[in-house]
Structure 1
Amino acid sequence: MRVWLQFVRFGWEQALSCLFPVVIFASLALTQHVQIPWLPRYDALLLICLAMQWWMVRSGLETRDEVKVITLFHLIGLALELFKVHMGSWSYPEEGYSKVFGVPLYSGFMYASVASYLCQAWRRLKVGLVRWPPFPVVVPLAAMIYLNFFTHHFWIDVRWWLSALVLLVFWRTWVTYEVGGTRYRMPLALSFALIGFFIWVAENVATFFGAWEYPDQSVSWRMVHFGKASSWLLLVIVSFLIVATLKRVKDRQVSDSKEASIQG
C-alpha cells in the first residue's frame, strides 16, 4: 500500500512539473479545431505560450532564475529549428505573422517547456546528484551533442558514439530525489532514457495535432519513427547537463555568499 501511495505521489509531482508542456499540448488540440478570425494558428499559440509564461512567473510557480534558463532553451531551440527547417528535416506548413524563415516563434517554447519541466521537477522532488563529473568534462560533452544536430547533415552522424561517451562519463553518476519524505535514487543514464522516451511519445501527440510536420506526414499523419527517440534522448541529455551545470553554479554562488557573510 505504501509503494502504491508513493507511486501516486511521484506521479502527482511529475504532473505538476509538466504543467507548461500540458498547456502547449492542450493549445495544439484546441487551436486545431477552433479558429480565431484574423489570427493565424501559429500566432495564437505564441500568445498562449507568452501568457502562460507570464502567469507562471506571476503566480510564483517559476522563479526569475528559472525563467533565465527557460529563455536560454528557447534561443537554443529556435536556432536548431531554423537550421532543421532550412535543411528540410521538418516543416511548418501553415501561415503565420510570427514565422521567421519558415519557423514560427512559438516553436521555441516547445524546447523551453522541456527546461520548465526539468526546473520544476528539480525543485519539487529535491533532486540531487551523486558523483557528478567535473565541469571541464560536462560542458564540452553537451556542446558536442548539440553541434552534432547540425554537423551530421554535412559529416558523419556520431550520435551513437556520443551516446556511448555519455554512458562512459556518467556510469557512476546517480540522481537522487525525494517523494513523501523518502529519498530514492536511480542511475542518471536510466533517467535520460526514460525522459527521452516520454518526449518521443509527446512528439507523436504534437505532430498528430499539427505542431510541425515531417516529410512522411505531408499526406496523412503516421507515427514518428522510433529512431527519433535517439535524437530526443540526446536533446534531453543536453538539456539536463545545462540545467544541472547552472544549478550547481548557482548553489556554489549561494554557498560562497553565505560563507563571505559569516566571515564578515
Structure 2
Amino acid sequence: MENGGGDGEFTPLERAIDRTANRILSGRPDRGPRAVLIECCVFLLKQAWACIFGALLLAVIVAARLWYPDDAPLARNDALTIAAILIQIGMLAFRLESGRELWVIVLFHITGTAMELFKTDVGSWAYEAEGVLRIGAVPLFSGFMYAAVGSYMVRVYRLHDLRFVRYPRVWATSILALCIYANFFGHHYIFDFRWLLIAGIVALWFPTLMQFRIWRATVRVPLLAVFAGVAAFIWLAENIATWSGAWLYPAQQDGWELVSPQKIVAWFLLMIISVVMVTWVYPPLPPGEARSVDPDRRRGFWS
C-alpha cells in the first residue's frame, strides 16, 4: 500500500510488529464483521502500545503498594523514582522511543515538576514525606507521570498518522495553553478562569476534526470529543495511582475515596497544554499533505 503517513520515526520493534501484522492480516476482507473486528483489534493494540510508558509506571506504583516492604532500607518513593528512571533508560536502550519523542517527554517532565512544586506547597495534594530523591515535598518520580502523558501523546500522533481538518493556528493555541498553565497557579490567589478558558477551547477547536488511520480504515472524529475521552481515561488512572498511595488529595487523607469527577475538568485543561506542546514538535497537518518519511517504511499495521 502506498506510503503516506507519519514521520517515519518508527522504532525497530514497531517495524517488526508491522511486518508480522501485515503477513497475518494481508488478504483479509475489507468489509464485513471480520474486517471490523480486525480494525478494532488493531486500534486497541496501537492504543496499548502508545500507553506503554504510563502502563509500566502505573504497574510499578501498584506493585509498590501491594508488595514493597514497609521496613525496606530504601524509601518507597525513592524506589519508585529509580524504577521510573530505569523504565526511561530501557525505553531508550531498546530503542522503543524515537529521539523526537524524548524531547517532548523531557518538556512534559519539566513543566509537570514545576506545577507539582507549587501545588504541593499550597496543599492541593501531598506525597509521603520520605526518601531523598525529591525536590522539597515532591518526589522525583512525579515528573515521570507527566512524561507518561507526553509519551502517549507523541506515540498516538505517529502510530495513527494523525491529520486535522480546520485546525486552529498554533500561535493561538499556544497563547491559550500558556493562559491555562498560568491559571493552574493563579487561581489560588485571584479569580479561577477555568470556565472562560474552556469556552476559549471550545471556540478554537469546535470546528476541528481529527483524522486517524487504524489499519485500512481512516476515521474522522471531533477533536474536542477526543480531548474529553483522554481526560476521562487519565482520571481513571489517577484513581488507581491515588489508591496505590502515589499521592493523596486532602479528602483522601483519612481513607481513600474516589477522586472527584471534577478533576476531569483539570485533566481536560492539562490535555490542551499537552496537545499544544506536541504540535510544537509535530506540526498539525491537513489530510493529504505529505510528511517527510523514511523511504524504507511502508503503510501497514502501525501506519
TM-score (norm 2): 0.80
Residues 170 and 279, structure 2, Cα contact 8 Å, conserved in 1: no
Q: Which of 34, 40, 45 is equivalent to 2:68?
A: 34
2:86 alignment partner in structure 1? 51
Amino acid at match of 1:2: A
Amino acid at match of 1:157: D
Q: Which of 179, 203, 206 is equivalent to 1:144?
A: 179
State the distance in 2 between where 1:122 and 1:253 align: 14
Q: How does 1:55-204 map to 2 (within 5 A)?
A: 55-204=90-239
Offset at residue 161 of structure 1 (A): 1.0
TM-score (norm 1): 0.92
Offset at residue 249 of structure 1 (A): 8.7
Offset at residue 252 of structure 1 (A): 8.8
Structure 1 residue ranges, 4+ long, deviating more than 4 angstroms after superposition: 249-254
Q: Which of 11, 24, 27 is equivalent to 2:57?
A: 24
1:240 alignment partner in structure 2? 275
State the distance in 1 between where 2:202 and 2:58 align: 32
1:5 alignment partner in structure 2? 38
**How many aligned residue pairs are there?**
254
State the distance in 2 between where 1:159 and 1:138 align: 15
Larger CA deviation: 78-87 vs 136-145: 136-145
Offset at residue 118 of structure 1 (A): 0.7
Larger CA deviation: 208-217 vs 26-35: 26-35
Offset at residue 108 of structure 1 (A): 0.3
Unpaired segments of 5 or more residues in structure 1?
255-264
1:257 alignment partner in structure 2? none
State the distance in 2 between where 1:77 and 1:206 align: 16
1:213 alignment partner in structure 2? 248
For 1:9-36, what per-residue CA distance to the aligned partner results, in whole angstroms no more than 9, with x for missing partners?
1111101110111111111111122238
State the distance in 1 between where 2:284 and 2:88 align: 24
State the distance in 2 between where 1:60 and 1:186 align: 31
State the distance in 2 between where 1:136 and 1:14 align: 29
Q: Which has the higher helix share?
A: 1
User: 1:248 aligns to what SS in structure 2?
Assistant: coil
Offset at residue 195 of structure 1 (A): 0.3
Amino acid at match of 2:35: R
1:262 alignment partner in structure 2? none
State the distance in 1 between where 2:49 and 2:139 align: 27
State the distance in 1 between where 2:49 and 2:129 align: 31
Task: Among all aligned residue pairs of Structure 1 and Structure 2, give the percentage whose two residues are the same amino acid.
Answer: 37
For 1:146-195, what per-residue CA distance to the aligned partner results, in whole angstroms no more than 9, with x for missing partners?
11100000011111111111110111111111111221111111110000
For 1:25-67, what per-residue CA distance to the aligned partner results, in whole angstroms no more than 9, with x for missing partners?
1111111222383211111111111111111122222111211
1:258 alignment partner in structure 2? none
For 1:191-211, what per-residue CA distance to the aligned partner results, in whole angstroms no more than 9, with x for missing partners?
100000000111111100011
Higher relative contact order (CA 8 A, sep 6+): 2
State the distance in 2 between where 1:66 and 1:134 align: 22
